[in-house]
Structure 1
Amino acid sequence: MGGALGNRDGIVGSTLDATLTPAPLAGLRASVDAVEPLAHWEAWVRGTVFDVELLAPLQFAVAGNRGLELSCRDAKDVPRPLVRLLRPVAEDSDGMRQQLQFVLDYADLRSDRQVEIQSQIPQLMTYWAAIAGLRPDRHRWTMELLGAAVRFAIAVELRFKHALALARPVELSPKVQPMILTPGHSSFPSGHSTEAHCAARVLMALRGVDDQGDGLGAMLLRQAARIAVNRTIAGVHYPVDSRAGQVLGTCLAEYIVGRCADLALGSSGHLPPFSSHTAREFDAEAYLLKDFQAPVSGSDSNQVDRDGEGLKLGAAHTPVPSKAMSWLWLHASAEWR
């Protein structure tokens, strides 16, 4: 610092030049709120813009005495349902006793999954990178897109957790003895399941793959489910939390992808493969006797919309596209061409 101060004194005069250096953004500002300056900002600044874009049209509303509904305002500012989650009726029910028994049974796998569980506490990107071949030097924009998806999922899931306030397994039985510190928020829905399924679905849409067979999409969904199950093995989540997170994460991914479909910014071939999201309702009470298991073959890789088990499908809606999110999508998709 000292050298730079002294150096300036030796080479800079006291008079301002008649001609100023051209402003670097002058040619980028096609209009107010144009997308072109995004490439000029630091990553955290772009990230904040993306966060606001995704959260802005959303609103939450209490649904009955057990639920919370998330809606997205459409082009006419009318709220359209995105997802509704209903928590279990009570923690002391027979169904919740079964959920707690699942947690105790899964504890047998803790030694086998210890390394995975510990590594998945701070971040999940390593696992997606291993499956999809992500590299920071080649897939900068893809990683920013996934980062935006995860931050968005965290914001939404925490609002659901606060509203639905389900006790953690360790709060119901001293026999659980989690192998990691239990997070200080509601058990329902699972945050790891929400984030993993949201990121998996966004990356699948970006790559244009489905969930069939043993391909990329199936692997991403199996990984998401395994991450979710690991949290039950660790003793901090019930299986029903993972199922709720799977439903929530899928809905959020469809919403994100729909916000990236601004045709004004690029050809349809480079934009998302779909632009609408399907409303879903998940009632945990109808799932309490069931376990949530990670799929192991192509035939059962897509569990999210299977009939029954507390899930109801609603109408499809198209969210208002975001220029900023569409700009990010186009840059990310170009990295895979």
Structure 2
Amino acid sequence: MANMGDMGDMGDRGANGLGGGAGLLAFRIDLPFDKEKPQVWRKDKDGAWGWKEDPAIDLEVLPPDLTVTWTPRDWSARWFAWAIMGDFATQTAWKSITLTPYPVAAAEVTAELQLLFRAAQDERPDAMGEIVAQNQDYEDCMAFFMALLRISANSHPRTCGLMHVAGLIGLLTAMHFKNAPGSQPQRPRPSQLHPALLPAIEVPGHPAFPSGHATQAMLMALIVEQALPAERRTKLAPYLHTLAGRIARNREIAGLHYKSDTTGGLELAAKVFELLGSVESYADALKLAQGEWA
């Protein structure tokens, strides 16, 4: 099970290969690269290959006629997603989203509770690997979508960037509605009311409704579906949506959420997705991602 937990590290792929540098590089202090003699590997007039020095080049500076500008590809996926989330956050429509209220009638709550106890008994031991692997961060969930699609941050950087967008905006909106301004009270976790559930992992320090994992996972599924070509979209949508539902349900099996928490998260994801198209930076990022699947 510990080895299964290592799958969560795969989420880091979502940020790899997309920064402005190459990571940690060794540097020879007695002969820095910029002090090397500029040379090229060329054929001579007799057709033999060899080194030829180019004294006109200075490795300390770029040629004056080479213009360097910041381009979309220079953004790391995670930081570009933050920029898009900032644009989304300035909109006001998403704060007016209404969610189906979670049940408060005793009979309905009891019915949901029975489902949780049954899942804990029948499914939790087998689901623990996935529960742990998907627990820490939205990038843990990204790893499962990337494996499903057989992509990486190197092969499809902009598509991975959209999953970062889903993770961040899903977090923003879920936390807003967990705070429940002007609506239902903030919902206690199931184990607060029913300690015998004994959740399999640490209970997050925020209210239960709506489920953040459900919001983020389904928003990932909807956004990636939108990036796919029409023929692939039809075929892969059931895989994407089913995976999102599985990630969300794992949180119920773990004892962290009622089923209605999951439903609220899925509903929130759908309504947020409908508003994303009005965000210009998101529309631009979507076009770049769609180009990766051409």
TM-score by length of 1: 0.62
Q: Partner of 1:57 in structure 2?
A: 91
1:130 aligns with 2:150: no
One-letter amino acid of the counterpart of residue 255, structure 2: G
**Against the structure 1 CA distance between its residues 239 and 325, is the aligned structure 2 distance closer, same or farther, given a 3 Å change threshold?**
same
Q: Mean Cα displacement is larger for which, 126-135 or 237-246? A: 126-135
One-letter amino acid of the counterpart of residue 86, structure 2: V
- Listed as ranges, the gaps of 5+ residues in structure 1 are 12-16, 26-35, 61-69, 72-82, 259-318
Instruction: Tell me the CA shift for residue 9 of structure 1.
Output: 12
Residues in 2 aligned to 1:106 and 1:8: alpha-carbon distance in whole angstroms:
60
Residues in 1 aligned to 2:103 and 2:85: alpha-carbon distance in whole angstroms:
33
Instruction: Tell me the CA shift for residue 218 of structure 1.
Output: 0.7
One-letter amino acid of the counterpart of residue 217, structure 2: A
1:333 aligns with 2:290: yes
Q: Partner of 2:273 in structure 1?
A: 253
**Against the structure 1 CA distance between its residues 181 and 22, is the aligned structure 2 distance closer, same or farther, given a 3 Å change threshold?**
same
Please tell me whether Structure 1 or Structure 2 has the larger radius of gyration of its CA atoms: 2
Structure with the larger RCO, 1 or 2 (CA within 8 Å, 6+ apart): 2
**Against the structure 1 CA distance between its residues 162 and 210, is the aligned structure 2 distance closer, same or farther, given a 3 Å change threshold?**
farther
Could you give the per-residue CA deviations for residues 118-167 of structure 1, whole angstroms, max 9, x where no partner exists?
11113111221232222222101100011111111111101111225101
**Against the structure 1 CA distance between its residues 22 and 247, is the aligned structure 2 distance closer, same or farther, given a 3 Å change threshold?**
same
Percent of counterpart pairs with the same letter?
26
One-letter amino acid of the counterpart of residue 191, structure 2: V
One-letter amino acid of the counterpart of residue 48, structure 1: W
Q: Partner of 1:191 in structure 2?
A: 212
Q: Partner of 1:313 in structure 2?
A: none
- Indicate conservation of the 8 Å contact 2:77/2:158, yes or no: no
One-letter amino acid of the counterpart of residue 189, structure 2: R
Residue 243 of structure 2 aligns to a residue whose secondary structure is helix
1:219 aligns with 2:239: yes
Instruction: Tell me the CA shift for residue 212 of structure 1.
Output: 9.8
- Counterpart pick for 1:168 among 189, 196, 205: 189
Q: Mean Cα displacement is larger for which, 51-60 or 227-236? A: 51-60
Residues in 1 aligned to 2:34 and 2:80: alpha-carbon distance in whole angstroms:
36
1:38 aligns with 2:63: no
Residue 188 of structure 2 aligns to a residue whose secondary structure is coil
Residues in 1 aligned to 2:113 and 2:154: alpha-carbon distance in whole angstroms:
44
Instruction: Tell me the CA shift for residue 93 of structure 1.
Output: 2.4
- Listed as ranges, the gaps of 5+ residues in structure 2 are 1-25, 37-60
Of Structure 1 and Structure 2, which has the larger fraction of its residues in helix?
2
**Against the structure 1 CA distance between its residues 21 and 99, is the aligned structure 2 distance closer, same or farther, given a 3 Å change threshold?**
same
- Counterpart pick for 1:139 among 141, 156, 167: 156
Instruction: Tell me the CA shift for residue 177 of structure 1.
Output: 0.6
Residue 268 of structure 2 aligns to a residue whose secondary structure is helix
Residues in 1 aligned to 2:215 and 2:106: alpha-carbon distance in whole angstroms:
25
**Against the structure 1 CA distance between its residues 95 and 182, is the aligned structure 2 distance closer, same or farther, given a 3 Å change threshold?**
same
Aligned-residue Cα RMSD (Å) equals: 3.0
Instruction: Tell me the CA shift for residue 53 of structure 1.
Output: 1.4
- Counterpart pick for 2:134 among 120, 123, 142: 120
TM-score by length of 2: 0.71
Residues in 2 aligned to 1:325 and 1:212: alpha-carbon distance in whole angstroms:
19
**Against the structure 1 CA distance between its residues 9 and 179, is the aligned structure 2 distance closer, same or farther, given a 3 Å change threshold?**
closer
Residues in 2 aligned to 1:116 and 1:9: alpha-carbon distance in whole angstroms:
49
**Against the structure 1 CA distance between its residues 227 and 21, is the aligned structure 2 distance closer, same or farther, given a 3 Å change threshold?**
same
**Against the structure 1 CA distance between its residues 9 and 251, is the aligned structure 2 distance closer, same or farther, given a 3 Å change threshold?**
closer
